Amino acid sequence: MDVTIPRYIRCNNQILNVSPAKVMGILNLTPDSFYSESRVKNEKKLLEKAEKMLADGADFLDLGGYSSRPGADFVSEEEERKRILPAIELLNKHFPLAKISVDTFRAKIAREAIEAGACMINDISGGQADERMFDTVAELQVPYILMHMRGTPQTMQQLTDYHPDPITEINRFFSQKIKKLHDKHVNDIIIDPGFGFAKTLEQNYFILKNLDRFLIHDKILLVGISRKSMLYKLLRITQDQALNATTVAHTIGLLKGASILRVHDVKEAKEVVKIVDFMNQSG
C-alpha cells in the first residue's frame, strides 16, 4: 500500500516523532474499569503508577474518569471533573515533563483538562457524544484521538452490524470525521479503530488482520487492544493472564502500521516496539 504515514505530532509545544512507535500508559481514575490493575484508587497510587510507567518509558499517560467497558455505569460530568482535573494537576506537579492525554468524550471536560495541563484529547466517541467537541479541539489546537464507536458503553454491544464489512464502514466514518476536522483546521488527528467498541470477537480480529487498510487516511494510527476481551475470551483466560496475548496483538498491530500503542503494561510494550523497529531497520 503506497501511503505516507505522518511521523510527527505536537504535544506540550514539542514536536514528537512517532517513529519508532510510541507507548501510551493507561491510568484509570475509575472504580469499575475492566482491568482492575489499571484502576487508581488514591493520590499515592496514582503517583506510584505514573512514576513506574514513565520509568518504563511511557511516552504519554492517558487519564480517564469514565469507564468505557461494555455496560459501564453512567458518570456525571461533575464526577468526571472531580476525578480528572486534580489528577492532571498532581501529575504536572510531580512529573512536569510528562505528556498527558485526557480520555473524555465531553468537550467541557476536555477544555478544562487541557487548561489544567493535558496536551491531547482522546475521544472514544469520535465527536458523536458531544457536538461541541470538534469546535473545542479546533480552538485548543491540540492532538485529537478520533476513535470509532457506535452508541454508548451501555448500548454499543447491540450495534455490531456492518455493511458490507467493518473496515469499509469504519473507513467511511473516519473519512467523514476527518473532513469535518480539516474544515475546522484541525490537522493533528490520530485515528483509533476502537477494538471492542461495538464489535464482535470475529470483527475485532478482522480489523486487526486488515489494520493497514486504515493507513489510506494518512493519519497516525493508534491501537488500544491491551488485555481486552477479544484476547482473553478467545484463549479462555482472565485479564490478569492476558499479557502474553497482548504482546502478540501489539506485535501484529505494529507490523500492520500502528504508531501508538495504548497499554496497561508499558515495559513489555516498549520491548515490542524496540524489536519491531530494529527488525524494520535491519538489512
**What CATH code is carried by the domain that includes residue 74?**
3.20.20.20
Q: Catalytic: which of 228, 236, 256, 270?
A: 228
Q: Is residue 210 part of a domain?
A: yes
Q: Is residue 70 part of a domain?
A: yes
Q: Is residue 148 part of a domain?
A: yes
Q: What is the pLDDT of residue 152?
A: 82
Question: E-assigned strands of the chain?
Answer: 8-11, 14-17, 22-28, 60-64, 100-103, 120-123, 144-147, 189-192, 220-223, 260-263
Q: Is residue 178 part of a domain?
A: yes
Please give the model's pTM, rounded to 2 decimal places.
0.94
Rounded Cα distance between 262 and 64, Å, is: 12
Q: Is residue 283 part of a domain?
A: no
Identify the domain containing residue 242 by its residue range: 8-277
- Which tens digits make up the pLDDT trace of 86-132? 999 999 999 999 999 999 999 999 999 999 999 999 999 999 999 99
- 177 as an active site residue: the answer is no
188 close to 144: Cβ distance less than 8 angstroms: yes
pLDDT, tens digit only, all 283 positions of the chain: 455 666 899 998 899 999 999 999 999 998 755 555 656 778 999 999 999 999 999 999 999 998 777 666 788 999 999 999 999 999 999 999 999 999 999 999 999 999 999 999 999 999 999 999 999 999 999 999 999 999 887 788 888 999 999 999 999 999 999 999 999 999 999 999 999 999 999 999 999 999 999 999 999 999 999 999 999 999 999 999 999 999 999 999 999 999 999 999 999 999 999 999 999 998 6
Q: Is residue 184 part of a domain?
A: yes
Rounded Cα distance between 244 and 261, Å, is: 15
Rounded Cα distance between 198 and 225, Å, is: 14
- 262 as an active site residue: the answer is yes
Residue by residue, DSSP assigns 166-213 as HHHHHHHHHHHHHHHHHHTT---EEEE--TTSS--HHHHHHHHHTGGG
Q: Catalytic: which of 262, 267, 270, 274?
A: 262
Q: Is residue 61 part of a domain?
A: yes
- Angle, nearest 10°, between helix axes 243-255 and 266-281? 30
Q: What is the pLDDT of residue 1?
A: 46
Number of domains making up the chain: 1
Instruction: Write the DSSP symbol of residue 147.
Output: E
Burial (CB < 10 A; 0-12, 13-18, 19+), residue 30, is buried
217 close to 178: Cβ distance less than 8 angstroms: yes
Q: Is residue 156 part of a domain?
A: yes
